[in-house]
Amino acid sequence: MKLGFIGCGNMACAMMGGIIKNQVLSAEEIIASNLGRAPLERAQRELGIKTAQDNREVVRQAEIVVLAVKPQVYETVIREVAETVRPEQVIVTIAPGKTLNWLTETFGKPVKLVRTMPNTPALVGEGITAVCANESVTAKELEEVCRLLRGFGRTEVIPEHLMDVVVSVSGSSPAYVFLFIEAMADAAVADGMPRKQAYEFAAQAVLGSAKMVLESGKHPGELKDMVCSPGGTTIEAVRVLEAKGFRSSVIEAMKACTHKAKSM
């Protein structure tokens, strides 16, 4: 099995790293190309993958090809490789806003397409990737792509109309969580805690809380209530967060993110 990546930036490296670390594929089974040589040389050095001089070479050698370039580069790359794509090949996309219809039109021919939205926690094997496919992709092929994606986290097959929402709730959301962790750590530093320790406390609290939501099956509101003792410290913090519009800030930010994803 040969997996190809066109574009060898942050997301491609996170995906490749997970796939290799979890022995879903060996490094020799992965080939990548990139515009500049530096990211490619780094990936070759750090991950041991094979590299190609140009994007068409990746398409020639791989059975499944991931288009791991920025959304604005998709059209250029697709036009460059379209002729080389074989009918039995599966193309995996990871860009927001690039619909299956748009992709088919841009390739200008029938292509097996799997549209996905991963996120950077893939780097530590804790990603979640949403997946949808066009009708040319068989159940077996879709499962094969999901097997690769599970190399760096969970996968969920979803209807395509939810893909823009996924951009906001998982593709981009690590950035909001990092902001939240940084803000909590800043507050702890302001109250005298050393910065390194503050990041550890804040990050571990987020990690543990996320695990509680996933593993207890309890409603997040119920878990919040469990921390808020009557007349206690936590409800004071919750009161101020509500007064400052914490919840609606998150909702409005995510709606802006989804709106942007739809327009890309």
Ligand X SMILES: NC(=O)c1ccc[n+]([C@@H]2O[C@H](COP(=O)([O-])OP(=O)(O)OC[C@H]3O[C@@H](n4cnc5c(N)ncnc54)[C@H](OP(=O)(O)O)[C@@H]3O)[C@@H](O)[C@H]2O)c1
Interface ranges with ligand X (CB under 6 A): 6-12, 33-36, 39, 55, 68-71, 73, 76-77, 94-96, 117-120, 171
Nearer Cβ to ligand X, position 35 or 238? 35
What is the nearest approach in angstroms of ligand X to the Cβ of residue 108? 18
Comparison of 16 and 133: residue with beta carbon closer to ligand X = 16
Which is nearer to ligand X, 7 or 153 (by Cβ)?
7
Calpha distance 43→68 (Å, rounded): 14
Residue 35 or 47: which CB sits closer to ligand X? Answer: 35
CB of 169 to ligand X, least distance (A): 12
- Nearer to ligand X by Cβ, of 116 and 133: the residue is 116
Helices (H), the chain: 10-21, 37-47, 55-61, 74-81, 100-107, 139-149, 163-166, 173-190, 195-216, 220-227, 233-243, 246-262
Are the CB atoms for 85 and 107 separated by under 8 Å? yes
Please say whether the beta carbons of 150 and 125 come within 8 A.
no
Instruction: Give the residue with the Cβ less far from ligand X, 23 or 72.
Output: 72
In whole angstroms, the minimum distance from the beta carbon of 208 to ligand X comes to 23
Closest CA to 150 of 15, 48, 2, 31: 15
Beta sheet of 153-157, edge-to-edge order: 50-51, 30-33, 3-6, 64-67, 90-93, 112-117, 127-133, 153-157
Residue nearest to ligand X (CB): 9
* Least distance between ligand X and beta carbon 12 (Å): 6
β-strands 50-51, 64-67 pairing:
unpaired
End-to-end C-alpha distance for the chain, whole angstroms: 32
In angstroms, what is the minimal distance from the CB of 127 to ligand X? 9
CB of 98 to ligand X, least distance (A): 8
Of 11 and 198, nearer to ligand X (C-beta) is: 11
The kind and range of the H/E element at 114 are strand 112-117
Shortest reach from residue 69's CB to ligand X, in Å: 4
Using CA atoms, how far apart are residues 140 and 142, in angstroms rounded to an integer? Answer: 5
